[in-house]
Structure 1
Amino acid sequence: MLKVLTVAGYKAHEIGVFKNTDPAVRVIKKALRQAIVSKIDRGLQWVITSGQLGVETWAAEVVIELKETYPMLKLGILAAYQNHEEKWNEVNQDLYQRLCIQADFVEAISQKPYQNPQQLRNKNHFHIAKSDGLLIVYDEEKEGSPKFLWEVAKKYHESNRYEITQVTFQDLQWIVEEEQRNDDWSIVD
């Protein structure tokens, strides 16, 4: 049974998204919503992220929206280290604080501020060990920060019953094409 799901993916700047009004955010959030809802029907209770800007904050927003329909769903934000958002601009810090207020659990894995990359490796291992599955927006043809968690998850998957759901750029393109066929909304102005 899948009770705890880690959600991760690209940081916003890694995929060229610099505003939450970018049409790509809407597509990514739709993909996340579809994947999370399909797992709620299988017993999903918790979604956890490390709260990085991009896929992880968009996933947190999706979970908060879904809690209106699925009140049993919970959101955990488990950052790699204390004050991981302190160097972000004020708008992003405000977004993070709003998400933390609405989350059911917020904690830093390392109780110290950033010291070295080992804290990030520890975060990856912690998230995989504490969850039953991973939902990741990652395409192996475009490496980025999710690569490290992806590799940990694949190794863990080999020897455990660990579920990995990958959303690729092709998956996102299919959502765009489906929406354009349905005329529900237009990605292109």
Structure 2
Amino acid sequence: MNRIWITGFRSYDLGIFNNKDPKLAIINFALNKLLTNAIYDNCNWLITGGQLGIEQWAIEEALRLKQTNFPDFQIALMTPFLDFGKNWQEGKRDKLTSLKQAVDFSSSVFASNYESPKQLQAYQEFMLNHTDRAIIFYDQEAESSRARFDYQAMKNYASNHNYPVMLIDLDRLQDYADEYQLEKSDYLE
């Protein structure tokens, strides 16, 4: 079994507040390329969380790939605790519920509601111990509290384990934007 964890920026970190934002097309393009390459590299599970942003977009892209080209690819949505997302706006909670129903497996690391920040650290440890590699959309120059902690946990874990971590920073996202524009213009010709 080969499992990948994809996480990173939250939607608000990138200033993306709706599905019509042109930046989202670039991120979905990047996620499609990364997931497709991972699948061709024998990855058979995406295991990620339900955070707004990269995690949910990765699930959506994996679901599209599963439906179109890779029906055997599996997707797991793991939340840190049972009441994850309870303070979100109704539409965002509904989307999380919908994604939980669409994936192959969904559960919470803790079978209890939020109690303390220690649950988030234990969640990171769970994700690292139950995946074989990671892709994180994060830029060290950007102000992103949660992604920063995930990136540091990945780096620390990778220093003692065979755990490749691919960093997709803002420069790499620009490369994907250029590639997207090139493919889009080739398609239109």
Q: TM-score range by the shorter chain?
A: over 0.9
Cα contact 1:31–1:167 (8 A) shared by 2? no
How many residue pairs align between the two structures? 184
103 and 183 in structure 1: CA distance in 2 versus 1, 3 angstrom threshold = closer
Separation (CA, whole Å) in 1 of partners of 2:183 and 2:115: 49
45 and 182 in structure 1: CA distance in 2 versus 1, 3 angstrom threshold = closer
Q: What aligned pairs does 1:39-188 form with structure 2 within 5 A after superposition?
A: 39-68=38-67, 69-144=69-144, 145-184=146-185
Separation (CA, whole Å) in 1 of partners of 2:90 and 2:112: 22
- Shift in Å at residue 39 of structure 1? 1.1
SS of the residue corresponding to residue 107 of structure 2 reads strand
Cα contact 1:136–1:165 (8 A) shared by 2? yes
150 and 89 in structure 1: CA distance in 2 versus 1, 3 angstrom threshold = same
Residue in 1 that maps onto 2:10: 11
SS of the residue corresponding to residue 96 of structure 1 reads helix
Residue in 2 that maps onto 1:25: 24
Could you give the per-residue CA deviations for residues 7-57 of structure 1, whole angstroms, max 9, x where no partner exists?
101111122111121111111111111111111111101001111011100
Separation (CA, whole Å) in 1 of partners of 2:43 and 2:184: 32
- Shift in Å at residue 83 of structure 1? 1.8
Separation (CA, whole Å) in 1 of partners of 2:185 and 2:90: 34
The percent of aligned pairs where both chains have the same amino acid is 27
Instruction: Compute the RMSD of aligned alpha carbons.
Output: 1.5
- Shift in Å at residue 129 of structure 1? 0.9
Separation (CA, whole Å) in 2 of partners of 1:72 and 1:44: 11
- Shift in Å at residue 181 of structure 1? 3.6
